[in-house]
A and B are shown apart, each in its own frame.
Chain A
Amino acid sequence: METMTECAQPIGFHFLFLRLSIKVNVELCTETRPSVTTANRNAVLAFQSSKKSRHFTYFADFSENVSLFSRRCGYVGKSARRTLQLWQGTMKEIGGKFGSSVLTYFLFLKWLLIFNIFSFLVNFGFITIPQLVYEPSPNIPLNVHFRGLEIITGAGYFNNTVMYYGGYSNETLVGLVDYNMQLAYFFTITVYMVLCGIALIFSMAKSFKKNYVLADSATSSAWQLLCSWDFSVTNERAVRKRKSNLRIQLKESLSEKAQQELLTLPEQLKHFGVHVGSWLLSTSLAVGCGASIYFLCEYEQKHTADTGSWSLLQEAETLLVPFVVSLINLVVPFFYSFFNEFEHYTNQRNQIYALVIRNVFLKMVILGVLCYYWMNVVAEVFSCWESMVGQALYRLVIVDFLFLMLGCFFGEFLRSVIGTRLISRLGVPEFDVGRNVLEIIYAQTLGWIGIYFSPLLPAIQILKFFILFYLKKVSLIQNCQPPRRSGRAAQMKTIFIFLLWFPFFVGALSMVAYTAWRLPPSEQCGPFRGLNTTFGVIEVWMDDLVDIPGSHWVIWIYQKVIRSEVFYFLITMIILVVIYIFWQVTQGRKRLIGLLRQQIVNEGKDKSFLLEKLQNLQKSRKPTSKPNKQKGHSKERPGEPPTGSHSNAMVQALLARQQLQDEMDQSVPSDTSNSGALMQAMLARQRALSQNGDVYHRPEERVSSFQTAQTTRNQENQESDGHYRMVSPTNAVTLAMQARQRAEGTREDDTDYLPSSVSSVMRQVMQARQRAEEELNSPSQNTAPSGSSALIQAMWARQQAQNEYDDGY
């Protein structure tokens, strides 16, 4: 606890450095002696003593207090946000029993729910409330009464309420302020869609950044063994299941290696033929479903009248199309997963991707057909067509919800009953994350399309997702088992967000945009009646603005920027150029990574080669001296270096280097000793660590602050800005080591960081090694004389490096 109180004593901006340095110290400490807290304490004391010498000016005091205050506010904000988080306990329970991949579904559902809550608040606040205030009772024709069927069909009584587009007026509401309903409607919808798009793009970018390796060879056992264990699973049965799954997967991967055979040509052709066939089949199935829905819509439209009142039968008939759509969405994916039986993919992941792509295509075809029908047929035929479209969407949402519940019941509950009681061979069903996520993405797309036509649809969505969450949770816990394949939760999340954005959000946005741009609004109802297109409301507004003084800049922006083509052309060109530049930079860095990796491998080989030679040399020179441990990373110091001859001096140098190397490697990440050399090495490593995480940004604050702390401590090293320079001659050789570390860690294009002399040294050592390998040409490398020439050359090369660095400083 002493650490904590010492932590509390310095105040202000030093606090920030302290916290960061303590966190960094936590990171750098590997040994338990000295322990983490002792290390912290040392760092804190050192920092305090270094800072005491400074004077506190009044300005410094003030800035300290300001930053302290802002940080405290930040903490309050953070804890307030944490209390508002929904369903924390449930998430923990689900994660504990089923693991992270199932949890992604529920997190995704929660995220979409937040979208809908936001949209509902915005719409209700800006559009519905003014309308309700202005006209509290909707003008419903006299012969329409509330029948219970409206809840499902959305037609009838709801038709003229604020539920749909048609219930809104197009006037400027006069009240406390003049509220222009047209502009309000237009801008609310536009701003909401734009904000949605931005939020999606940002979360997609963040997800890509964190999980940037999308296609990797991570079915390897290294990954499985070390990274795939889910630490958050706390349920005993789940843990046992996971262990057995891991065992099975490891066995599979072992046996895969054993049986990797190349397929013969006829077999390859056969597989290819099967692939093509199944893709054709699935595509034609999707297209067929789309066509049938189109014809069904037309058939239904012939039977409906354009009057305001429908009979009960007519209303019930409107449910036919949503029913068929949801049925298709439920049944056809099962066909697709049936294809897996006879279609063999080389990779499990390709199979999953193929399934996802087929399902997405099916849903897009259905949505596309429906949108086409609405925009081309409904818009022509009906008088208040936006409300009709809104009703259709309402019906789709409700029926989709009913089918989700049914699917849950049949797919999971009955299946588990069958699996446990009747055919116990089948077992309990797995929770299919992919299918469920696609279902909620589809549901959300319906909501996004519907937001223009039915502003209060998000309220229905909120209810739907809320109930769905609890339903799925109960079903999951009662009926399902965790997925057998240890799912790649992070990658799946990235893919889901990407799917949500494209094609679903983009499709919804383009449909709404097309409606606003091209289609004439209906003449009798809605806020845009009387205009040619919805977008015309902006023109009207611009005309109005001409009269208001002081708003000419808005008109200027509208005419010169938004309506001019040159502006968009320029922006597109600039963006394309920037993309091209970034792409080239990425290519360059990929190549650099490959080169550096090769360099690491070579360094390892050099090291082992040199040390083998050293051992042989020692054995041949002094048989009584203590032998080194093999491969260099020994803990014991080597014995007294032999004295005397010229080559022994080099042996001495090499031994000293080896000593230092042992120290360096032991303390990487090092413990907090007081030597400047180690600190610099730590700096280098820390910088490498931070640069690994953040390639495109400047090194994080904590690194620079830690460096600042360290450099103020090591006054005797006369460092000014150089982070990689050593002064003492013994550390000159560690510079070579550092260069290697830098080579490992640095992924920037600044290859001038690697001094040319060091790389030439490496080259010389490599050449010496290669020459030696050529010369010896035998497994036993005990010939000291011929080998020693290469060794001596290598030693000279290193000595040269030492001299150069000594000369340089």
Chain B
Amino acid sequence: MGNKQTTFTDEQLEAFQDCTFFTRKEILRLHARFRELAPHLVPLDFTNNPDVRVPPTLVVTMPELKENPFRDRIVATFSEDGLGNLSFNDFVDMFSALCELSPRELKTIYAFKIYDFNRDDFICEDDLQQTLNKLTKGELTAEEVTLVCQKVIEEADLDGDRKLSFSDFQNMISKAPDFLSNFHIRI
């Protein structure tokens, strides 16, 4: 089954299998999905490593991402330029990091990056407010939003700098065993 495909060389497929959590078949399927996003842009033949990037506006139309409130942040986090233009590498990386087999540490790192809207390596109150707005679609009053964010910082901030550093975030995640099963996109 895999020997007849011409999309990737065998070495490329091996490399993908080594660097991600997917099998051959899944990688080929991912390529088909990637191609679906922009058939005119993405070539069928990847053997000579074309440098093709799909813009974020097309990526977020995928059914797995379409309804996710964090879709823009997810795509931006995994893209090389930070704006959301995904190459196939980035695409596979994204779904590999979010798949079932991906370990907790990897997911924690990426969750932290996704929630860090201003990319300063800290989840400050502003980031939390933006997260909350995305999750509740702005239906809480401004006062409630502030209150919730303050509570979150009170609970999770360990070293007292009014921001969540990565270790604070990690500590909080370790108390939430559901995180692994929640932070998971099936493809």
Contact = CB atoms under 8 A, between A and B. Distances in A.
Interface of A: 1-5, 7-8, 15, 18-19, 22-23, 26-27, 30-33, 35-38, 71-72, 75, 78-79, 82-83, 91-92, 95-96, 100, 210-213, 216-218, 220-223, 225-236, 239, 243-244, 246-247, 250-251, 254, 257, 488-491, 597, 600-601, 603-605, 607-608, 631-633, 635, 665-666, 668-669, 689-690, 692-693, 744-745
B36 interface: no
Interface in B132-187: 132, 135-137, 139-140, 144, 147-148, 151-152, 155-156, 158-163, 165-167, 169-170, 172-186
Given A15-B18, A231-B182, A693-B104, A8 B11 contact: yes
Given A7-B19, A22-B19, A27-B106, A223 B148 contact: no
B185 A82 contact: no
B166 A100 contact: no
B34 interface: no
Contact of A7 (B15, B103, B177): B15
- Which 3 A-B pairs rank lowest in CB-CB distance, beginning with the nearest? A604-B159, A1-B49, A211-B177
A601 B11 contact: no
Contacts of A2: 49
Interface string B80-91: 111000011110
Nearest to A2: B49
B42 interface: no
A89 to B, nearest CB: 10
Interface string B9-23: 001101111110001
Contact of B24 (A75, A231, A233, A600): A75
A601 B157 CA distance: 9
Contacts of A18: 18
Nearest to A93: B186
Contact of A30 (B26, B111, B113): B113
Nearest to A257: B151
Interface string B59-98: 0000110111110000000011110000111100100011
Counting chain B residues whose Cβ lies within 8 A of the other chain, the interface size class is 35 or more
A246 B51 contact: no
Contacts of B132: 225, 250
Contact of B67 (A234, A489, A665, A745): A234
Contacts of B103: 693
Contacts of B24: 75, 79
Nearest to B16: A4
Contacts of A22: 18-19
Nearest to B176: A227
A490 B66 contact: no
Contact of A226 (B17, B64, B93, B152): B152
B7 interface: no
Given A36-B80, A597-B158, A689-B105, A1 B46 contact: yes
Contacts of A95: 186
Given A1-B87, A75-B17, 5 more contacts: A82-B25, A221-B155, A228-B178, A250-B136, A257-B151
B161 A604 contact: yes
B148 A693 contact: no
16 contacts: A1-B50, A4-B15, A4-B89, A5-B15, A8-B14, A19-B19, A231-B70, A234-B68, A243-B137, A250-B132, A250-B148, A597-B158, A603-B159, A608-B160, A689-B105, A744-B167
B172 A222 contact: yes
Nearest to B10: A8
Contacts of A79: 23-25
A38 to B, nearest CB: 8
Given A7-B15, A19-B18, A229-B182, A600 B156 contact: no
A601 B181 contact: no
A232 B111 CA distance: 14
Nearest to A38: B80
A518 to B, nearest CB: 42
B109 interface: yes
Interface of B: 11-12, 14-19, 23-26, 46, 49-51, 63-64, 66-70, 79-82, 87-90, 93, 97-98, 103-106, 109, 111, 113, 115, 119-122, 128, 131-132, 135-137, 139-140, 144, 147-148, 151-152, 155-156, 158-163, 165-167, 169-170, 172-186
B5 to A, nearest CB: 13
B19 A4 contact: yes
A64 to B, nearest CB: 14
B181 A100 contact: yes
Contacts of A223: 172, 175-176
A221 B167 CA distance: 18
A217 B88 CA distance: 41
A689 B18 CA distance: 22
B81 A32 contact: yes
B156 A4 contact: no
A32 B70 CA distance: 18
A36 B110 CA distance: 12
B81 to A, nearest CB: 7
Contacts of B111: 226
Nearest to A33: B82
B122 A633 contact: yes
A490 B68 CA distance: 21
B178 A222 contact: no
Contacts of B23: 75, 78-79, 82
Nearest to B19: A22
A416 B113 CA distance: 42
Contacts of A239: 67-69
Contact of A35 (B19, B80, B88, B128): B80
Given A223-B172, A631-B161, A4 B49 contact: yes
B67 A236 contact: yes
A212 B80 CA distance: 36
B88 to A, nearest CB: 7
Given A7-B18, A79-B25, A232 B184 contact: yes
Given A8-B15, A27-B105, A32-B80, A231 B183 contact: yes
Which of A229, A231, A246, A665 has the most chain B CB atoms inside 10 A of its CB? A231
Contacts of A38: 80
Contact of A489 (B69, B174, B181): B181
Given A5-B49, A226-B131, A213 B175 contact: yes
A27 B135 contact: no
A243 B135 contact: yes
A223 B186 CA distance: 22
B154 to A, nearest CB: 8
B106 A26 contact: yes
A92 B177 contact: no
Given A490-B181, A604-B160, A631-B161, A218 B175 contact: yes
A216 B151 contact: no
Contacts of B135: 225, 229, 243, 246
Contacts of B113: 30
A225 B144 CA distance: 13
A64 B42 CA distance: 36
A247 B105 contact: no
A38 B82 CA distance: 13
* B87, B131, B177 interface centre (most CB from chain A within 10 Å): B177
B180 A669 contact: no
